[in-house]
């Protein structure tokens, strides 16, 4: 029976450690996601997607004309500060393509690095309240014949032209052999990094922004900054799109704040679940350690009385009792650490922190040691106060 109860305590401690580590990593990921700087001002920013069918918008000129008419209508709406179109919104992913730098040593196509390629209208950066670090924003003429200009983000500039001025430098997107070469793009501006991908994924954080005039989008996202609560204009935006094309579907109308809430949802939900189960496991392990140590003290009352009658001090009795609880706690922690390392491999794909984050593991280990120590301390103090004369009467 003694060994069974001890084994149960060890299992409870190990499970509590595993759950607490999972909860700690999820909570730390949630806090990192909550503090994430997207690079754009998400307040009063609304978004929705539209797609232009090839049957009615076959040519780039037709798509460009629709985009210009739509933006003219949106920008003239009461309560709208500015509106723009983009191939992808922040946190909405992006197409990535291989690229080559003008003047750099030739590299095989399959070994060239990848770069996020986003298409935007000239109002995009103003709508997102993104200020250029160097150079200038897009103008309406950028992207026209003879003006293949591009804005790059800070990470791309630092990686490819460290310590040098990137303005006026050129690069182009690579194509496989047999396909038409892409034009060389001239850098006219450098913007701060805008978070395009889920932070838990490993896509490159380098990005280039191409003016819509160069490659008018078939599918695009509307981004609009409003002077009024953005939810109040969602129906009005749908109406403006349908006035131009009544058969055009409007997809996922929402605010950027809602986009952030959706991105944080897994961390909040799983973090809460882990925290609830971890709290239960922590309480059970503490109660288990307390019960086992108390039971041991009760069974060893006569032994402890004899020790004290022979001169054992209260301190030595406390150490004797604590040894039992600490031993079970240590075994449970050792097993739990191994299991926790396995669990974090499963959670790795959704974590924003290292799955072996030392601060989390150290903090959880210290917490369990503290709780286990408190659970052992009460029966240890009780043992130290045993009256030897009374204890010797036990049979």
Instruction: Give 63's pLDDT tier (boundaries 50, 70, 90).
Output: very high
pLDDT of 44 > 90? The answer is: yes
Count: domains in the chain: 2
Same domain, yes or no: 105 and 165: yes
In this prediction, residue 100 has a pLDDT band, given cuts at 50, 70 and 90, of very high
What would the pLDDT profile of 347-370 be if each residue is shown by its tens digit? 776 777 777 888 888 888 888 888
Q: Domain boundary at 247, 276, 297, which?
A: 247
In a domain, 363, yes or no: yes
Distance between CA 138 and CA 173 in Å, rounded? 19
**pLDDT confidence bin for 59, thresholds 50/70/90:** very high
Domain, as residue range, for 281: 2-36+263-391
Count of H helices and E strands in the chain?
A: 10, 11
Look at residue 2 and tell me whether its pLDDT is greater than 70. no
Please indicate, yes or no, if residue 72 is contained in any of the structural domains. yes
Q: Which pLDDT tens digit goes with each residue over 14-27?
A: 887 888 888 788 77
Does residue 326 have a pLDDT over 90?
Answer: no
Q: Where are the alpha helices (DSSP H) in 253-313?
A: 256-299, 301-309
Establish if 256 belongs to a structural domain. Answer: no
Is the pLDDT at 145 greater than 80? The verdict is no
Tens digits of residue pLDDT in 260-280: 888 877 777 777 787 787 778
The band of 226, judged by pLDDT with boundaries at 50, 70 and 90, is: very high
Residue 86: pLDDT above 90?
yes
In this prediction, residue 209 has a pLDDT band, given cuts at 50, 70 and 90, of very high
Q: Are residues 30 and 57 in the same domain?
A: no
Among 62, 190, 83, smallest CA distance to 136 is for 190
Q: 220 and 137 in one domain? A: yes
Supply the pLDDT for residue 4. Answer: 67
Q: Given pLDDT bands bounded at 50, 70 and 90, which one contains residue 6?
A: low
Q: What is the pLDDT of residue 370?
A: 85
pLDDT at residue 211 in the model: 95
CB-CB contact of 151 with 128 (8 Å): no
Confidence (pTM)? 0.74
Statement to judge: residues 284 and 197 lie in one domain:
no
pLDDT digits (tens, 9 = 90+) for 231-271: 889 889 999 999 999 889 899 899 998 888 888 777 777 77
For residues 239 and 207, membership in a common domain is answered with yes
Lowest mean pLDDT among 229-238, 291-300, 374-383: 291-300
201: pLDDT strictly greater than 70: no
Domain final residue, candidates 214, 247, 280: 247
* 255 occurs within a structural domain: no
Q: Is the dihedral of CA 307, 309, 310, 316 positive or negative?
A: positive
In percent, the amount of the chain with pLDDT more than 90 equals 39
Predicted confidence at residue 356, as pLDDT, reads 80
67 plus 114 within the same structural domain: yes
Q: Is residue 254 part of a domain?
A: no
| pLDDT at residue number 182 | 87
Give the residue, 64 or 389, on which the prediction is more confident. Answer: 64
Mean pLDDT of 42-58: 92
- Same domain for 73 and 157? yes
Is residue 236 in a domain?
yes
pLDDT mean across residues, the chain: 84
Rounded-to-integer distance, Cα 57 and Cα 63, Å: 6
Q: Are 31 and 116 found together in one domain?
A: no
Whether 315 shows a pLDDT value over 70: the answer reads: yes
Residue 327 inside a domain? The answer is yes
Are residues 101 and 236 located together in one domain of the fold?
yes
| pLDDT band for position 164 (cuts 50, 70, 90) | very high
The pLDDT of residue 94 is 92
Domain-embedded: residue 31 = yes
Q: Which of 280, 260, 325, 310 is nearest to 33 (CA)?
A: 260
More confident residue, 135 or 369: 135
Same domain, 100 and 207: yes
Question: Please, what is the angle between helix 2-34 and helix 256-299, to 10°?
Answer: 160
Do 379 and 320 meet the contact criterion of CB atoms below 8 Å apart? Answer: no
Does residue 71 sit in the same domain as residue 196?
yes
Residue 192: pLDDT over 60: yes
Does 79 lie in the same domain as 27? Answer: no
What is the helix, strand, coil percentage profile of the chain, to 5?
50, 15, 35
């Amino acid at each position: 029976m003694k060994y069974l109860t001890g084994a149960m305590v060890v299992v409870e401690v190990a499970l509590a450690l595993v759950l607490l580590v999972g909860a700690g990593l999820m909570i730390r990921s949630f806090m990192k996601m909550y503090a994430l700087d997207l690079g754009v001002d998400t307040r009063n920013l609304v978004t929705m997607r539209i797609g232009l069918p090839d049957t009615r918008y076959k040519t780039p000129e037709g798509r460009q004309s629709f985009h210009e008419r739509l933006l003219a209508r949106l920008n003239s709406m009461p309560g709208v500060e500015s509106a723009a179109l983009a191939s992808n919104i922040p946190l909405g992913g992006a197409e990535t393509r291989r690229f080559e730098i003008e003047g750099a040593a030739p590299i095989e196509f399959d070994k060239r690095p990848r770069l996020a390629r986003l298409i935007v209208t000239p109002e995009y950066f103003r709508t997102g309240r993104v200020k250029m670090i160097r150079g200038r924003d897009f103008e309406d003429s950028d992207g026209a014949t003879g003006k293949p200009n591009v804005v790059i983000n800070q990470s791309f500039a630092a990686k490819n032209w460290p310590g040098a001025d990137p303005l006026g430098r050129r690069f182009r997107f690579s194509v496989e052999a047999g396909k038409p070469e892409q034009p060389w793009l001239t850098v006219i501006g450098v913007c701060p990094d805008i978070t395009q991908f889920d932070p838990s994924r490993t896509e490159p954080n380098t990005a280039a922004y191409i003016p819509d005039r160069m490659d008018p989008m078939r599918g695009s996202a509307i981004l609009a900054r409003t002077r009024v609560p953005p939810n109040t204009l969602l129906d009005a935006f749908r109406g403006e799109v349908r006035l131009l094309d009544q058969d055009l579907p409007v997809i996922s109308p929402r605010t950027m704040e809602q986009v952030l809430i959706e991105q944080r949802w897994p961390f909040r939900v799983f973090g809460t679940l882990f925290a609830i189960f971890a709290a239960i496991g922590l309480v059970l392990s503490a109660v288990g350690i307390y019960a086992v140590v108390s039971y041991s003290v009760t069974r060893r009352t006569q032994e402890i009385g004899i020790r004290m009658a022979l001169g054992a001090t209260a301190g030595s009795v406390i150490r004797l009792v604590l040894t039992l609880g600490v031993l079970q706690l240590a075994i449970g922690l050792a097993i739990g650490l191994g299991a926790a390392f396995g669990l974090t491999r499963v959670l790795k794909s959704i974590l924003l922190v290292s799955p072996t984050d030392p601060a989390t593991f150290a903090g959880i280990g210290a917490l369990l040691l503290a709780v286990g120590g408190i659970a052992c301390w009460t029966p240890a103090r009780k043992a130290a106060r045993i009256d030897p004369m009374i204890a010797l009467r036990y049979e």
